[in-house]
Structure 1
């Protein structure tokens, strides 16, 4: 029997994502109970078991909504009903810490997924982000002026994580669930206009589709793919330059930095700040530009303050990032 096109699209994405894994390995699937993650989980059970993989369903309760604990229990039951080999659930404490509720929840979620992956010795952790999520990410990066790295969108894979559905439309995951008779949950936060991503999803993208024609989400996602290759090349060049230039104490020679193209030099300086302990989420483009001015616009600046109680200094023909003195 021929599969429904939406179901086939989801399974194809999962099959490609699992193709390099050896039989007997464990795959962890993050599942919120929404259409995207349930479609992903159901497809992983089918495709994973076909090639001898062990499939574990994982859900994380962020405790941000009333009834979230009961919902998490329901998701665990649903995952078991879909045929996973094992289920696991965890409740996390979301500490805003000045970064906003969405970012704080994401940080807490990845921290517990990291622990789960280690516990199960998972070869891969699958995430249910779709092509529409990618388009929203690109638009948010564009609106915030976040540069090429944000416009390149979400990576298809990083560390142990993989996103098999980045070529699959959200409508296909919904339809795939409906075809298989899977009831899914709709997170009210996804429609709450207090959240920027919800406004992009339900207001901005529909307006773009209305005035520019259908296919905007696919075009934005394709743009992210094209940019990501460029960003990865520049990142590779910067890592090689950093390894070549950095001294034992992390000092970077001004002459060597000045010889690098702007895009590479600024990435090298960012790497130097990260290596010194600057928090990646708090190290902004403005900080990197200020570091770059120590090379390209030097007029005797004593230091540049950086997040993480750090300072960028230029001394004796070199730039280095050091702990700020009390």
Structure 2
């Protein structure tokens, strides 16, 4: 999508073949900084420290991380060790393990001397596949927005998002935002309510940044305002992303998703999940089996921002030595999900509805 009017993606190969570039998302929206990942350690650190985040983008970054490792040592042992390092960086998003399995399955039969070029070629294939996949998600989600637009007589469709499931969480288009960007292209008016998404504020810092750059009308709200606006009839639908979807349709996504789904159900509003088929984990029978990442308590007790002098700083917002818990994700039961928007269509959030995608 766009930054300062220029077409950008969240990750791209270095034209001089020194590695792969990413946008450092920990510095957005205040600073747009490109970072060159040169080796396995750079890629693993970028994923673990959330310079890249979002399940699809994590998967593509891991694919390039494996390719960078094989550039240094293309042996079986190196490939296995690199995959293990990358797999351990973020335990919840299934796309990471999916991408590594695709990479290793493709490369395993090859002789060592062919692996370097083949690894980068296959990582690029996964990158391009992600773009096409998210564009297709947008097309299928567009039909849902179009139907609501017709129901509202052409008035803007008011959409609630959670966290950042935009193009910054993928290579391009995004998952939850893809239908929004497609609606904009189709001339269907929308207005997006962006919740801040504590504790890392990815809605405030990333989704609001994206939508502003793309000139999509939007309003930032605090996390706890979503239910209030639903009650008052100011929201027409919710679209969120997913980090892992169990075989029965339970959805694991950024912490707070469950509460938005409960509010939507109580208010009789559609609550959709947008995710590629690679986010489905048919090895897990239900959402309670999904490992939930617990992140550092400092993400809760401190908050980053820009000081009056323009410097990006981190400030304490809780009393010193206050204990805090920081589960990064929660699980929304399938019964609260109106449908799952994938690149292959919109499917019922149930074992039967998803079975054909296995």
Is the TM-score greater than 0.5?
A: no
Q: TM-score, normalised by structure 1?
A: 0.35
Q: TM-score, normalised by structure 2?
A: 0.32
User: Which structure features the higher share of helix residues?
Assistant: 1
